[in-house]
Chain A
Amino acid sequence: MAIRSFLFLLLLFFSSLNPILSLYEDQVGLMDWHQQFIGKVKQAVFHTQKTGRKRVVVSTEENVIASLDLRHGEIFWRHVLATNDVIDGIDIAIGKYVITLSSGGSILRAWNLPDGQMVWESSLQGPKHSKSLLLVLTNLKVDKDNVVIVFTNGRLHAVSSIDGEVLWKKDFEAESLDVQQVIQPPGSDLVYVVGFAASSQFEMYQINARNGELLKHESAAFSGGFLGEVSLVSSETLVALDSTGSILLTISFHNGKISFQQTPISNLVGDSLGPAAITPSSVTGIFSLKVNAITIFIRVIGEGKLEVLEKTNLKTAVSDALSISEGKQAFALIQHAGSEIHLTVKPADDWDGNLLKESIKMDRQRGLVHKVFINNYIRTDRSYGFRVLIVMEDHSLLLLQQGEIVWSREDGLASIIDVTTSELPVEKDGVSVAKVEHNLFEWLKGHMLKLKGTLMLASPEDMAAIQSMRLKSSEKSKMTRDHNGFRKLLIVLTRAGKLFALHTGDGRIVWSHLLQSLHKPQACQHLIGLNLYQWQVPHHHAMDENPSVLVVGRCGPSLDAPGVLSFVDTYTGKELSSLSLAHSVAQVIPLPYTDSTEQRLHLLIDADQHAHLYPKTPEAIGIFQREFSNIYWYSVEDDNGIIKGHALKSKCTSEVADEFCFDSRELWSVVFPSESEKIIATVTRKLNEVVHTQAKVIADQDVMYKYLSRNLLFVATAAPKASGEIGSVTPEESWLVAYLIDTVTGRILHRVTHHGSQGPVHAVFSENWVVYHYFNLRVHRYEMSVIEIYDQSRADDKDVWKLVLGKHNLTSPISSYSRPEVITKSQSYFFTHSLKSIAVTSTAKGITSKQLLIGTIGDQVLALDKRFLDPRRSVNPTQAEKEEGIIPLTDLLPIIPQSYVTHALRVEGLQGIVTVPAKLESTTLVFAHGVDLFFTQLAPSRTYDSLTEDFSYALLLITIVALVAAIFVTWILSERKELQEKWR
C-alpha cells in the first residue's frame, strides 16, 4: 500500500513535469522496430533493360506500387496510393518509366524507374464506367514518342509516354460495348478493340494507332451469348465460352472477317463435368480451362481446331507468356504435389519440350500458389535461365531460381485484421537461453567501446559499432518471459487467413499458421478470418498448459455463412483443434468467467439471435448457469439505425437437443429517426481495461466519482445527408449527435448535438471518458470533443464520519437498474489533423496517466496527453487547479513534434493502433499496423518505476565504494583521536 501511494506521489511529481516524451537519435531502434511490406501482389513487371536488370516492379492489393530488388527482395522504392485509388494495371514504357493506371482507370501516372519519382500524371475521363485496360505499344513511334493506349470509361486514349499528354481519343459511347481486349498485332500500327455488345454480339474495331482513325468496324452475332473471361490465343484469335459454359468458341477476326467455331467441351474431355471457366492468360496458341477442380490445357490448331494437351487435377497456376527470342514464347506452370511444387517452363509451341523442370520444397503453411510471373536471364554458359516470382495463398511473395527459394517476403502482414498478445514461456531453471559472452576479449572490447562513447572519444565507426551492439543485445529478443513484461508475442490474423506470432523484441516471425491448410479444403471453401480472442491464458493453477487463442472465421462472405472456430497454441503455433459450426457467427462475447483450466467462456451469437456457449463442457455450463440472468448484450443495426439490447431466455427449442444453445429475448431498443440520424460510429470500453481508482480528487480537496460502468456504449449519429464526403453539405443541413447508452437497460445517459458538424467520427472510450474527432463545417476545422461522466449517487460518500461509522454505501453492489445519477462534463477543441485511427495507452494497474495515440493522416502516430482533453480546463486556472495539473484553456490542441511516437518513420496505410500493458506499471506497448508494422514502448509519465537504460551503475557503485571507504577512514581516525584524548 505504502509502495503504491509512493508510486502515486512520484507519478504526480513526474506528471507535473514536462509531459512530452521523446527520444534521442541514438535511441531509435532500441525499443522500437519498423517493418515495411507491400501486400498481395496483383501484377509484376520485370525490368529487362540493362540498368535495371535486377528489379521487378509490382502492384498490390493494398494499392502499393513498389520496385523490388530481385537479388534480395528488398524494397528500392514504394508508393502507397490512397485506399480508393485502386491500381488497375502497370507496365513499363520506354525503358525508364513505370506506367500505372488507377482509380477505376481515371488516373494514369508515370514513375521514374530508378528512384520512383513521379514524372507525370494525367486524368482520363470518359462517358461511362467500364473495364479499364492498359497497353503500352512497344515498337510503334508517333513523332519519336512511344504511345500508351488506355481504354477506360468507354473511351480509348492514346497517351504520350514522355509527358502524359493525350494524343488522341476515340469514344465507344454509342454502343453498349463491353470491351474485353485491346490488341496490337506485332509489327503493325493497328490496334484492335474487341468486345461484346448486348451479350450476344461480338464487335471488332480496327483503329490506326497513329491518329485514332477508325479503319474498320465489324460485328457478328452469336445466339448462344458469352460468358466471363476471354483468352487471347493469337493476335487475331480469341477463345470464349458460351453463356451455358459448355461450348468453347474460337473467334477469329483475321483481316476484319469475324468467324466463329464452336466446340462442345464434352467433345474434348469426353464426358461433361459441369460448368467450365477460362483462366485468362496470353500464351500464343494455348489456353487453359478449369472444370471443377480439373485444369485442362488446350491448343488451338489453325482454324478453330482444338487439341487437348493435358488434363490434371493437381492445383495449377500458369504465368503469362514471355518472349525469349524472335517469335518464341515460353511460359511457366506450377503444380502442387504434396509438400512440393513442380515448376515447369515450357515453350509455347512444344508442350512436351520442357525448358526447365524443377521441384521445390514448399512450406505447407504458405498454401497454394495463386500467381506466377516469369522472367528470363542469360546464364554464365550463355543459355537461357528462368526465374519465377510466385504469390502464395498467404499473400507471401517468393522468388524461385535454380530450384531454390532465393528470397521470400511475408506480405500477408500488410493486411492485419486483428491483433492479440500472448505471454512467452517462463524461463526454466537451469535452461538459460541467454548466450554467454563468446570470449573475454570481445567483452572487453565492447566495454572499451562503450567507455569511449561515454567519454566522447569515439569515432563515427565506433559509434556505429556501439549502436549495432546495443541493437543486437540478445536480452530483448529472448524467447522467455521477462520481469518487466516487455517481451511478448503479438498474435496477428491477416486477411489471407494466416496467423503470425511476432516477437515484440525485434518483430521477427516466431511461427505462422495458415488456417485453411491444404489437407482439408472440403470443409470450407472461402474461409474469412474474422477475429482473434484469448482462449486460454494460464496462470495460477493451470500453469503447465500453453496459452491458446481462438480464431473465429466464417465460410464465405455472407453474414449467414456458417462459422469456423480454430484453437491455436501460442507457443508452438500448432492448431489444437478446429470446429466447423452449424450456426453463423454474428457476434462473439468473451465472458468474464474461466473454467478450471483457465479456458475463457465465450458466447457466440448467431444471425438468428441464438446464443451458443463455448467451450462445450459440463463445467462451462455449470459456471454459465450461475450467471445466467446476469448476461446482457446489445446489437447495432447500422443500416437500420436501431440498437437493441438482449438477454438470455431459455434453452433453444430446436428439434436437435443442444444444451449449449440458448434463446434470447429483446429487452430494449433505441430507434433513431431515419430521416434525421444515421449511426456512423459505436465505441465501447476495452474489456480488459484496468482502472486504478474510482475517485478523482479535484482542486479544492473535493472528490468526484467516475462513472465506471463497463456497459457504456458511445454512439455517434449524423444527418443522413452529411454521411458523405466532407463539404458535400452545408452546415445547416448537417449535425452530429453523440450518445452515451447503458447497454443493460438501454438508458440514454447523455445526449448532445453538434450542429454544423459531420463525420467521419473516430472515437476512443476509456475509464469514464470518451474522446471523439469530427469535422466542424461552420469553422472549417477538425474538432475533438471529450465527454467525462461522473457518478453523483456516490457524491455523498465523501463524508469521513460516514466512512468511520460504516454508514456509507461503498460496498453495496451497483445495479444498472438503479436510476443513474450522473453528471457529464464536456469540452471541444480544435485539432489540426484528420485521423485514421485513435487509441489510448493502457497500463497494468491503470495508475499511470493516459495518452491518446492518434494515427494521423500522414500515417504517423502522435501521442497526446489526455490532460489536454480535460473538460475542466479553464482560461485562468486557479493556483490549486494548476497544482492538480490543469492546463490553461486553449482553442487548439497542440501538436508537439517530439511527441510523435513513430519519430521519423511512417506506418504506411495505417489501420489500427493496439496498446498492451507491460508488467511494469509505467510502460505500455504500442503496436501500429497498416501496410507497415511499427512497435514501440511508451511511458506516458516517464519510467518512474525503473531506472533508465543509460543509468550509470558504475557511478553508483563508485559512490558506494567511496562512501564505505570514507566511513572506514573516518572511523579509524575517530578511534585514534579518541585514544589520544584518553591518553591525555
Chain B
Amino acid sequence: MKTTEVIVAFILTLSLLSFPSLGFQSDELLVDDEEFGLEGAPQPRSPEPIPSRSQPVTTPTRKRHSDLDSDSKIQFSLDHAFGDSDFTPAGTFSARLKTWSHGGQTLTKLRFSRNSFTDEEKEKFKNLLESDDFYRIRLPSNVLSPPGRDFIISSVKARCLPREGLDEHFVIHMEGINVLAVNYGSPGSCPYPRNLKLPAKWSFNSHTVLKNSEQAPRAPVFTEEILGGENGEGEVVPPPERSFWAKYWMYLIPLGLIVMNAITQAMNLPEEQATGQVPAQGQPSGGAMQRGPSSAVRRR
C-alpha cells in the first residue's frame, strides 16, 4: 500500500513537472512573484497582455493623475459560517494594491492570516463534520469598499477539509479590484462517500492563489502564411520512412496465418497416418495410396 502511495506521489510530481501551466499547487504564500503577484498565472508570456487586461477597470473616476505606479496596502476580511449560522470573521487577507500609470489597479502579494478556531467554533465544526454539512466562507466583492455590491459566497462540505490539519485552498478570481468568485475547497480530492474524519490538529493550512483573466488566443490571420504554406507544399516534405512491418503488416499477417495453417496441417498429416497405421501395420506411404480405392469402392 505504501509503495503505491509513493508511486502515486511520484506520478503526481511528474505530472506537475510536465504541466507547469497548472502548477500552482505550491503551498507557498505569494511572497515574491515579480510585480504581478500572480502565482499560477498560466501564461508565462504575460508582460504583453497585462496592461491591456487591466483596461476593463479603466473607469474615469478611478483615474489617478500620478504618472508613477503607486502601491498601497489594503486588507479585507474573510468571514465564515457553520451550516446555516451567521457569518463571523475568520481571517484577513492583506495585499498590495498596485495602481498603474494608465489607471488600472491590481492586487499583488496576497497574504492570508487565518484566525484559529475557538473552542466554540471547534464544536460547531465537529457538528458539521458529523452531519456532513456545509462550511461556508464569504469575501467582499470589492476589496476597496467592502462589501461592494454583494458578498462572494463559497462553501464546501466540511468533511472535505480535514487531513492532517485542516487544509484549505482558495483561488480568488479578480477583475481589477473586484472579486468575481472564489473557488474554495480542499487542495486535493474529496471522493464521494465522504467519511467522517476528525483533524489531528485544529490549525488551518491555507493556500491562496490570485487569478486574473486570460487573454483569448487571437483567431489566426493568414494572408501571407497561406502563400508561404503553398511554397512549403511545393517542396513536398517526404513522409517519415516507416518500418517494413508498419508498411506491410496487412500482408504479413495473412501470410503468417497461411504458413501457420500449412504447418499445422503438415503436423496433423503424420499424426493421422500414425493413427491409421495402427491397424494396418504397413508402410506409411502405402496407407495413403490404399485409401483412394477403398473410398471409391464405398461410393459404388
Contacts and interface: CB of A to CB of B under 8 A. Distances in A.
B216 A745 contact: no
A669 B151 contact: yes
A891 interface: yes
A747 B184 CA distance: 8
A807 B4 contact: yes
A876 interface: yes
Given A667-B134, A675-B59, A745 B214 contact: no
A817 B188 CA distance: 9
A770 to B, nearest CB: 13
A259 interface: no
A879 B242 CA distance: 11
A879 B152 CA distance: 49
B192 A674 contact: no
B225 A676 contact: no
Contact of A891 (B55, B156, B173, B222): B222
B109 interface: no
B279 interface: no
Given A676-B175, A677-B175, A818-B191, A752 B183 contact: no
Interface string A670-687: 111111110000000000
A875 B219 contact: no
A539 interface: no
A776 B216 CA distance: 12
B98 interface: no
B204 to A, nearest CB: 16
Nearest to A637: B150
A779 B190 CA distance: 45
A754 interface: yes
Interface string A10-46: 0000000000000000000000000000000000000
A768 B192 CA distance: 22
Interface stretch (B15-23, B28-36, B68-76, B89-97): B15-23
Residue of A674, A676, A828 with highest tally of chain B CB at under 10 A: A676
Contacts of A84: none
Given A745-B183, A751-B213, 9 more contacts: A669-B181, A673-B178, A735-B55, A745-B155, A792-B19, A813-B193, A818-B191, A823-B19, A830-B219
B222 to A, nearest CB: 5
A179 B125 CA distance: 70
A678 B95 CA distance: 27
Contact of A747 (B84, B136, B183, B225): B183
Contact of B152 (A629, A671, A776): A671
Interface of A: 629, 642, 647, 649, 665-677, 719, 732, 735, 737-738, 741, 745-748, 751-755, 776, 779, 783, 785, 792-793, 795-796, 807, 812-815, 817-819, 821, 823, 826-830, 875-876, 879, 889-891, 982
B148 interface: yes
B181 A754 contact: no
Contacts of B15: 792, 795-796
17 contacts: A668-B153, A671-B180, A672-B175, A735-B55, A745-B183, A751-B173, A751-B214, A752-B216, A754-B216, A792-B15, A815-B191, A818-B188, A818-B189, A823-B19, A826-B216, A828-B219, A876-B232
Nearest to A650: B84
B216 A828 contact: yes
B220 interface: yes
A919 to B, nearest CB: 33
B185 interface: yes
Contacts of A746: 153-154, 181, 183
A668 B185 CA distance: 12
B149 A671 contact: yes
Nearest to A776: B219
Contacts of A818: 185-186, 188-191
A974 B131 CA distance: 85
Contacts of A792: 15, 19, 22
Nearest to B14: A796
Contact of A817 (B148, B160, B181, B211): B160
Given A673-B178, A675-B59, A752-B214, A817 B152 contact: no
Contact of A676 (B57, B84, B193): B57
A673 B156 contact: no
B77 interface: no
B229 interface: yes
Given A667-B155, A673-B178, A735 B56 contact: yes
Contacts of A891: 219-222
A670 B172 CA distance: 11
Contacts of A755: 52, 55, 215-216
